[in-house]
Every structure is written in C-alpha cells, then in structure tokens.
Amino acid sequence: MRLLLFFFTIAMTFGCSSTPPQSPNKANVNAAKPAALPVYGYEVVKAYPHDPKAFTEGLFFNNGFLYESTGEKGQSSLRKVELETGKTVQKWNLPREDFGEGIAMIGDKIYQLTWQQGLGRVFDAKDFKLLKEFSYQGDGWGMTTDGTNLYMTQSTHVIKVLDPENFKTVRTIPVMREDGKPLMQINELEWIKGEIWGNIWHSEEANILGKPNYIARIDPASGKLLGWINLAGISPDDQGHSEDQRENTLNGIAYDAANDRIFVTGKNWKKLYEIKLKSPEGQ
C-alpha cells in the first residue's frame, strides 16, 4: 500500500508541473499592433493664379468664389477672390497692428480670428460690413464650421468647438498621433464630408511629424485620426530653401461641395491647386 502511494505521489508531482510558468512579458509578445493609418497621395487637376503677397491663414469656397484671410501685421485682410484669375474683387483691411488668421462662414456671416490679439470679428458676407467683435483667450490659428458651430485651433493639439452666438466653448477635441503623442501645431482647417482636414504648421519638423506638407484627416466626434494626405513636393517653386521662403508653408484648404472639388495653397504661394486624392500608399 505504501509503495502504491509512493508512485501515485510521484505521478501527481510531475503531472502538475508539466506546464512551465509563463514569462511575465510573454502575454504581450503577440499583442496586436494598431493598424497603420492610410496615407493618401494626390494629383493636380488644375493650377490657378494666387497672389504671392497673400500670406494665407484662412480659406474657404462659397458660391463660385474663394474667401481668404491673410496675415502679417500691416498686410492682413479679408478677401473675396475670383478662382480662375486670382483677382481680389472685395477686401477689408485689418488694422495695422492686427495679424489675420482663420476664417469660416455660417449663414450670411463670416468669422475671422487674429493671431495674438485675442480678437475676433464678424462680418456681413455680402458687403464685408463689420457687425461685431468678440474676444477669446490664447492665440487664434485655424477655423472651420460644420454649419452650426465654429471649430478653432490655437497652436496645440486641441480643437475648440465654439457657439457662434456667444463664442463660448461647447467642447474640446484632443487630437493624438498614432504613437499616442499630441498632434501639435494644427493650423488651418476645412470641413469636408463630415471630417475635419487640418494643415500641420511646419509638419516637416522632426518634433512635429518629420514629413513635409502633410494634412491630417480628423474625426470631429472623437478627435481620432482617420488618415493623412501627403502633399510633399506640390509647389516646389513656392517652397525653396532660402531663409525668406521658410514660412511659405502649406496653409489653406477649401472645398467646393457642389462640385466635389478640393483646393489647397500656401503662404505667399503663386498658385492655388485643385487636387484629387489618390489611393492610400501601398494599396
């Protein structure tokens, strides 16, 4: 009996220890990596003239015309521009101390930001008559609208949603890169088919993206990145390596919803481009 008990004990010991313990990190080895975001290419459909003295900070398309906000102190303006010729047909010059930034249109009103003045303005879209002014904390960068609210950037990774009646913040939308870091320097915005498209100021800088002329596609509900648009090399004549061209960054997205046309330009560029997206890289 004792002999049987001895063999039974040995069998149980080896049976219970046949599966070696897992390494603490083994469970993470096969963890699924997040899918890479699609990166869309482009083709130029047509190039149009653009005022090379226009330091573009805001852009949208409405009823056959481009509306543009330009920056630089002493040169800032709100403009209505003919698409085919690039000619300015209507203009409101900002005070010399102001630096114009993003613009958006809701109904018959145009809203325009300034950079560091904390001052915004509301204009009648028909005659550019100044209707009122409003204030906000921090910088003013890019702006767009979903037709109801205003969406505003301020140099960080956060997009603010504003009530256009009282300019109070309705909510905020943090935008993070694939690696979990904040997507800083979101600039000029455009609302396109339920997405927010955003220029990234100096996206070529290593601490921002390390990729030149990238546009982010953003889900306005969650702030999740939906993809990238790679516009590298789109306007080499406007983006040389000289010091005086350093700030000639891609900055200006406009969408013609009626004809499904996308336009892009940049600060002091001589051309504005109608583009068509190409399938994501690798697909």
Q: What is the mean pLDDT of each run of 10 residues along the chain (283 residues)?
A: 41 44 48 76 96 96 97 95 98 96 98 96 98 95 97 97 96 95 97 98 91 95 97 82 75 97 96 95 64
253: Cβ–Cβ under 8 A, 6 or more apart, which residues? 59, 188, 189, 190, 192, 197, 199, 215, 262, 263, 264
Q: Do the bridges between strand 39-49 and strand 225-230 make them parallel or antiparallel, or are there none, so unpaired?
A: parallel
CA distance 66 to 61: 4
Residue 25 lies in a domain: no
Residue 28 lies in a domain: no
pLDDT of the residue at 277: 96
Residue 145 lies in a domain: yes
pLDDT of the residue at 30: 47
CA distance 234 to 276: 12
Residue 61 lies in a domain: yes
Tell me which residue of 89, 88, 143, 91 sits closest to 114, measured CA to CA.
143
Residue that has been written with the tokens 């953003």 in this structure: 218
pLDDT of the residue at 283: 61
**How many structural domains comprise the chain?**
1
SS (H, E, C) 112-179: EEECCCCEEEEEECCCCCEEEEEECCCCCCCEEECCCCEEEECCCCEEEEECCCCCCEEEEEECECCC
CA distance 42 to 227: 14
Range of the domain at 216: 36-280
Residue that has been written with the tokens 């140099």 in this structure: 155
Residue 24 lies in a domain: no
pLDDT of the residue at 36: 86
CA distance 215 to 68: 19
Residue 16 — φ and ψ, nearest 5°?
-75, -20
Residue 257 lies in a domain: yes
Residue 153 lies in a domain: yes
278: its two tokens:
């190409």
CATH code, domain carrying 78: 2.120.10.30
pLDDT of the residue at 236: 78
Residue 48 — φ and ψ, nearest 5°?
-120, 155
CA distance 23 to 16: 18
Residue 159 lies in a domain: yes
